[in-house]
A = this chain, B = another copy of it.
Amino acid sequence: MTDITMIDTAAARLKGHTRVTPLLSSPFLDQIAGRRLFVKAECLQHTGSFKFRGGWSAVSALPPEVRANGVIAFSSGNHAQGVALAAARHGVPSVIVMPTDAPKLKIDNTRALGAEVILYDRATEDRDAIGARLAAERGLTLIKPYDEPLVIAGQGTVGLEIAEQAATEGITHADVVVCCGGGGLTSGIALALEARAPGLRARPAEPAGFDDVARSLASGQIERNARLSGSLCDAIITPQPGNITFPILKRLCGPGLVVTDEECLHAMALAFLRLKIVLEPGGAAALAAALFRSDQIEGNAVIAIASGGNVDPGQFCTALERYGH
């Protein structure tokens, strides 16, 4: 089980290899949100998303003789890049199983970071089965994207940084809104905040139609999404919360927030204009919730995690054309 000690240990392994990302803000965004709004810019992490933390945490914790055989991961893109770079910097091979509809940029980047990429059909094939088979055949260690204690511990280091940065800003009570897929980042942050900043409360943000976590928190049991594709927020679409992450989310998180794809595009344009950072739709879900669901948020400050920025230029310009004025 992941706990604060495991997160602290992960932080020690990550030190000097991951970036301490800044907490950004703008008076223009404060005005829209109706309170002080801070954005934890994890899009500035190596590989363009927080996933490098979990990847590094898992790869660095392997016994060297096991690690030498290589690692395998399945991912719509950001976990792929995180694991690929973590493996490359440890000098070991990586195999990444990606859906055929993942953004081309993410597939290209994963290959360029040294990984062998294997594509599968998200609608008809089972990525878990593919991953397990390849792992067995080649002696690779499977690094799951979220339902893995070492990965949760790595993502939890975002929460350690937030606890310190919030204290510097004088924030003792606030909602911390987190872009949520399987719940690895959200549960890791929730555990870190519980120990280091108990006045801060994690809240998952999800795209409409893929709000499995919000519904699971409301019902108290794991709920599934009806669809497995069809949102711009490809990075945070998962069938259901993880078996390891959900009990943590249930114990520690406030109610889930749900935003539309258009609101994510709007948040991307505002992040461009006001913070000078690049977000992908799924990475902008928490910012969208902080900006456009302010009636569902409490307190005079809110922190939103900007979890990733691996967006195709065409999609980014669509966001700017619609909302960049």
Copies in the complex: 2
Whether, in the assembled complex, A277 has its beta carbon less than 8 Å from a beta carbon of chain B, the answer is yes
Q: How far is the CA of A41 from the CA of B44 in the complex (A)?
A: 10
**Chain B residues in 8 Å Cβ range of A41:** 44
Least CB distance, A37 to chain B, in whole angstroms: 14
CB within 8 Å of B: which A27-53 residues: 27-28, 41, 43-44, 46, 48
Q: A22-B21, A44-B24, A313-B320 are in contact. Are A272 and B276 (CB under 8 A)?
A: no
CB within 8 Å of B: which A261-319 residues: 269, 272-273, 275-279, 309, 313, 316-317
**Chain B residues in 8 Å Cβ range of A28:** 112
Least CB distance, A220 to chain B, in whole angstroms: 37
**Chain B residues in 8 Å Cβ range of A26:** 46
**Chain B residues in 8 Å Cβ range of A105:** 273
**Chain B residues in 8 Å Cβ range of A116:** none
Least CB distance, A87 to chain B, in whole angstroms: 13
The chain B residue with its CB closest to the CB of A24 is: B44
The chain B residue with its CB closest to the CB of A25 is: B46
Looking at the complex, which one of B48, B278, B325 makes contact with A313 (CB distance below 8 Å)? Answer: B325
The chain B residue with its CB closest to the CB of A20 is: B22
The chain B residue with its CB closest to the CB of A324 is: B313
CB pair B276–A44 under 8 Å, yes or no, is yes
Whether, in the assembled complex, A19 has its beta carbon less than 8 Å from a beta carbon of chain B, the answer is yes
Most buried by B among A105, A277, A321: A277
Least CB distance, A19 to chain B, in whole angstroms: 7
- Contact count band on A: 20 to 34
CB within 8 Å of B: which A1-36 residues: 19-22, 24, 26-28
Q: How far is the CA of A139 from the CA of B275 in the complex (A)?
A: 34
Least CB distance, A102 to chain B, in whole angstroms: 16
Q: How far is the CA of A277 from the CA of B309 in the complex (A)?
A: 9
Whether, in the assembled complex, A158 has its beta carbon less than 8 Å from a beta carbon of chain B, the answer is no
Least CB distance, A29 to chain B, in whole angstroms: 12
The chain B residue with its CB closest to the CB of A88 is: B27
Whether, in the assembled complex, A72 has its beta carbon less than 8 Å from a beta carbon of chain B, the answer is no
The chain B residue with its CB closest to the CB of A89 is: B27
Whether, in the assembled complex, A113 has its beta carbon less than 8 Å from a beta carbon of chain B, the answer is yes
Q: How far is the CA of A279 from the CA of B276 in the complex (A)?
A: 7
Looking at the complex, which one of B27, B275, B317 makes contact with A113 (CB distance below 8 Å)? Answer: B27
Q: How far is the CA of A23 from the CA of B113 in the complex (A)?
A: 21
Chain A to chain B contacts (Cβ below 8 Å), 23 pairs: A19-B24, A20-B22, A21-B22, A22-B22, A22-B44, A27-B85, A41-B44, A44-B275, A44-B276, A44-B277, A105-B273, A269-B313, A272-B316, A276-B277, A276-B309, A277-B277, A277-B278, A278-B278, A313-B321, A313-B324, A313-B325, A316-B320, A317-B321
A binding-site residues for B, Cβ under 8 Å: 19-22, 24, 26-28, 41, 43-44, 46, 48, 85, 105, 112-113, 269, 272-273, 275-279, 309, 313, 316-317, 320-321, 324-325
